[in-house]
Chain A
């Protein structure tokens, strides 16, 4: 470990630690913060880092690989399968149309047809890193725009493989052995064996996910060493990525697949929480590297040329995306987000462009230019999305707030509901039926439009934003309900509310015990685990169907809920003492068992002794005098 390495680490980390909070405070998002810090420390401004930025980028691209693994973890196989039409349909349309248009434009600029086609394919890619990170940050993964973005990005990831295979065919015969940049174990083999190798590798990932990884994790979990579990998580990702590279597949795609397969396993939560910081750090590093790699001397040399290239490419991509979104029935607002979100050239373009350059399809000058276009367009994306959010949406799409007639008295609802999915809407409907009107915050524009038609007072946007909360009447409201399932957004929301609206009572829906614990640590009292009541209600009906008396079953259910809540609070306190909390899911299952056994002895009988004349009779027969009335 030499001083140079340490110095570099200091530079990168300082840049991130300084720029990102500033960018977030200014409402620019973390991605732009990282990009700007990269530009700042790059060779053209402060010059702390030089050309080695490219190497860092290659390394940091691993953040993208991790992100796709985590995305896969969130996506169960069945859900993935349901998206197949969207992935193939939207993806094909976007890539083919974009590549064709950009190639035509390149031909017009005087490039050879081979170079034009290659450039078109490379520039058709969008940035998975930027878009998914932004979607996650804004909690928009589940909206129509978010899903479409994800589908197209995934298809682009997949199509990198055939594109890498096609590119050598475009190489001029004089260029000779061109596939130096794309070395894989299989490259020397005939086509059918390559295909077989690829299929085998994919099968290996699937089988390993099913039959090797989970037992391995179980084994590791038993050691109760948290760092060993983290190491195993990293091992899964690195080895999958390596295997994919060996056979010439995209590592990101491979780890995504591994993620999907592990989505159903019991270790999903642990994997997520262990990998999250690595992913964040590497992605940050990646964005810094992109920022640092922008060749400003090239920009300075021909500003008009570069600017028009960037604009040209981005406008073309946006138009194609708008058409794609329209064809697949996205609403105006979702479609605008989708189009602006994916309008940049992505990180895969770096890989493709350097490969194209090695094949001598594209000369150095154009390659450099396109690299700059890529980096600049990535930097512009967060700005563009902000522009979209602040300027375009208020005019074109779903409005953050409804414009009211001037004379209408703006009434303030006592309740604000953040998130109007199934869960939130039930609360809203119930309150409305009871004569309590609630103001709704939601970040899915399609739903917002619908709710407004139904006469709800709806604000559109990220619920944890201070300004949105304020305009929704958080100062006057009494209760804020968060029906959002994402623990991160809930945590952010709690912080904002605590700081700016301390009088608001917060009531939060949580997915499970884990999320409940997180929020309990923040001191939130009113937590509602989403399925507990329903499960118990079902259980009560089971008892009744088996012939138990309705009232006894109902009381048993009520007592169980009370007991379970107490157990939750008890465990929340105890979990800080537990060294290996991460593995306590199993302990919890054991505990649940214990609880159940105790329930049978305690709750179901003792509480109701009052009405138990058998018990009374027994007692009376032991003590002679008459006892009751």
Chain B
């Protein structure tokens, strides 16, 4: 099944973020990929709910793309979730507007993969920290996939960053083709691994 991707990008100061600049620049220009820059669109946090709902209905894959500030998303994305995912529309009785759509987080973290573990100083895994998003998607009857993550951004060299950005681009193209089963993707800890560990588009 062919997919249409909506990237909900939330970064209050992307002009100062190497990693996210690289990631956003790698997004392939494609009619079926919509890059939606929330902080640029709503600098006053006044989210246009009707417009956002229409965007959601127009797409089948929703990506929450944001830096992983304090183990969560920047406040505008939370604002977006609070305002757009309305009771009776996204969840609750009759709330089936988003049913069957795919959702996941694409995040950047300063700390490396190892520090997000029992032994690491962040004590929990990324997947654990993302539980609220997981449950949000679940409540809205969406299919929640593992995150795409660029980690240890502070120490990544320019070449490394470009490599990660290339993975993001590939991920988007694979998702567009739609020759995957969502259940098949749950085996990965990160969607990055789907790109790096297999050349097989069909899962």
Q: A298 interface residue, CB < 8 Å from B?
A: no
For residue B112, give the distance in angstroms from its CB to the closest CB of chain A.
8
Q: A628 interface residue, CB < 8 Å from B?
A: yes
Q: B44 interface residue, CB < 8 Å from A?
A: yes
- Chain A: interface residue total (CB-CB under 8 A): 21
Q: B43 interface residue, CB < 8 Å from A?
A: yes
Closest to A547 in B: B15
B168-195 at interface with A (beta carbon < 8 Å): none
CA distance A550 to B11 in the complex (A): 11
Q: A432 interface residue, CB < 8 Å from B?
A: no
B39→A551 contact, CB < 8 A: yes
Q: B70 interface residue, CB < 8 Å from A?
A: yes
User: What 1/0 mask marks residues of chain A from 614 to 629 whose CB sits below 8 Å from any chain B CB?
Assistant: 1111001100001111
Task: For A552, list chain B residues within 8 Å (CB).
Answer: 12-13, 15
A613→B122 contact, CB < 8 A: no
B40→A613 contact, CB < 8 A: no
B121→A612 contact, CB < 8 A: no
CA distance A549 to B69 in the complex (A): 19
Q: A5 interface residue, CB < 8 Å from B?
A: no
User: What 1/0 mask marks residues of chain B from 114 to 154 whose CB sits below 8 Å from any chain A CB?
Assistant: 01000001100000000000000000000000000000011
Task: For A612, list chain B residues within 8 Å (CB).
Answer: 13, 16
For residue B187, give the distance in angstroms from its CB to the closest CB of chain A.
26
For residue A368, give the distance in angstroms from its CB to the closest CB of chain B.
74
CA distance A550 to B74 in the complex (A): 16
Task: For B67, list chain A residues within 8 Å (CB).
Answer: 611, 613
For residue A555, give the distance in angstroms from its CB to the closest CB of chain B.
8
For residue A443, give the distance in angstroms from its CB to the closest CB of chain B.
36
CA distance A210 to B67 in the complex (A): 60
Task: For B154, list chain A residues within 8 Å (CB).
Answer: 613, 616-617, 620-621, 627
- Chain B: interface residue total (CB-CB under 8 A): 30
Q: A554 interface residue, CB < 8 Å from B?
A: yes
A608→B13 contact, CB < 8 A: yes
Interface centre among B15, B16, B112 (most CB of A within 10 A): B16
B111→A626 contact, CB < 8 A: yes
Closest to A548 in B: B15
Task: For A555, list chain B residues within 8 Å (CB).
Answer: 43
A608→B12 contact, CB < 8 A: yes
CA distance A509 to B36 in the complex (A): 39
Task: For B71, list chain A residues within 8 Å (CB).
Answer: 629
User: What 1/0 mask marks residues of chain B from 57 to 85 whose CB sits below 8 Å from any chain A CB?
Assistant: 00000000001111100100000000000
Q: A415 interface residue, CB < 8 Å from B?
A: no
For residue B106, give the distance in angstroms from its CB to the closest CB of chain A.
16
Task: For A615, list chain B residues within 8 Å (CB).
Answer: 16
CB within 8 Å for A613 and B109 given contacts A554-B43, A626-B115, A629-B71: no
Task: For B14, list chain A residues within 8 Å (CB).
Answer: 549
For residue A603, give the distance in angstroms from its CB to the closest CB of chain B.
14
For residue A551, give the distance in angstroms from its CB to the closest CB of chain B.
4
For residue A370, give the distance in angstroms from its CB to the closest CB of chain B.
69
Task: For A385, list chain B residues within 8 Å (CB).
Answer: none
Residue ranges of B at the interface with A (Cβ–Cβ < 8 Å):
11-19, 39-41, 43-44, 67-71, 74, 109-112, 115, 121-122, 153-155
Q: List 11 A-B contacts (CB under 8 A).
A: A549-B14, A550-B39, A550-B43, A551-B12, A551-B13, A552-B13, A554-B43, A621-B154, A629-B109, A629-B110, A629-B122
Q: Identify 17 new A-B residue pairs, CB closer than 8 A, beyond the known A621-B154, A626-B111.
A: A549-B13, A549-B15, A550-B40, A550-B41, A550-B43, A552-B12, A554-B43, A611-B11, A611-B67, A613-B154, A617-B154, A626-B112, A628-B110, A629-B68, A629-B70, A629-B71, A629-B115
